[in-house]
């Protein structure tokens, strides 16, 4: 069964450093997403991406964040200067048009980001 893969599974970084979280969406999907989940809290939408541009972003997705699809398979989330409060699980998701209309997205296993 095709799946969304994320690397690394755990990233430890110092405050102020840049991090790049990587995702390989399901190959025929065209809609891509990033979510985050702070420990013990709910899953929060960050950004959606389609046709090489951001479709929607939440209030969390400020100028410190950026997304990119550098090639035909990867989808990345960059945090320019990490803060302690960026520590969370970051989930990538993807979908196609038919499933998107039914609220179906496929999530990766996540990257745990720890900012020290």
Partner 1 sequence: LAKTTQPISMDSYEGQEVNITCSHNNIATNDYITWYQQFPSQGPRFIIQGYKTKVTNEVASLFIPADRKSSTLSLPRVSLSDTAVYYCLVGPNNNDMRFGAGTRLTVKP
Q: Does 60 bind partner 1 (CB under 8 A)?
A: no
Site for partner 1 in 35-54 (CB under 8 A): 35, 42-45, 48, 50
> Which residue, 82 or 111, has its beta carbon nearer to partner 1?
111
Q: How far apart are CA 18 and CA 13, in angstroms?
A: 8
Site for partner 1 in 69-88 (CB under 8 A): none
Q: How far apart are CA 60 and CA 41, in angstroms?
A: 15
Dihedral angle computed from the Cα positions of residues 39, 102, 29 and 63, in that order, rounded to the nearest 10 degrees: -50
Binder of partner 1 out of 19, 21, 29, 31 (CB under 8 A): 31
Shortest separation between residue 112's beta carbon and partner 1, angstroms: 7
> Which residue, 18 or 100, has its beta carbon nearer to partner 1?
100
Dihedral angle computed from the Cα positions of residues 1, 96, 42 and 37, in that order, rounded to the nearest 10 degrees: 70
Q: Give Cα 92 to chain centroid, integer Å.
A: 4
- Binding residues for partner 1 (CB under 8 A): 4, 31, 33, 35, 42-45, 48, 50, 55-56, 58, 89, 91, 93, 100-110, 112
């Amino acid at each position: 069964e095709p799946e969304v893969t994320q690397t690394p599974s755990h990233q430890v970084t110092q405050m102020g450093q840049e991090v790049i979280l990587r995702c390989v969406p399901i190959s025929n999907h065209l809609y891509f997403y990033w979510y985050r989940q702070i420990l013990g809290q709910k899953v929060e939408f960050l950004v959606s991406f389609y046709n090489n541009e951001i479709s929607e972003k939440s209030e969390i997705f400020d100028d410190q964040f950026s997304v990119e699809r550098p090639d035909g398979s990867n989808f990345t989330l960059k945090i320019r200067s990490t803060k302690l409060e960026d520590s969370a699980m970051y989930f990538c998701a993807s979908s196609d048009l038919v499933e998107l209309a039914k609220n179906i997205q496929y999530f990766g296993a996540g990257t745990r980001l720890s900012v020290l």
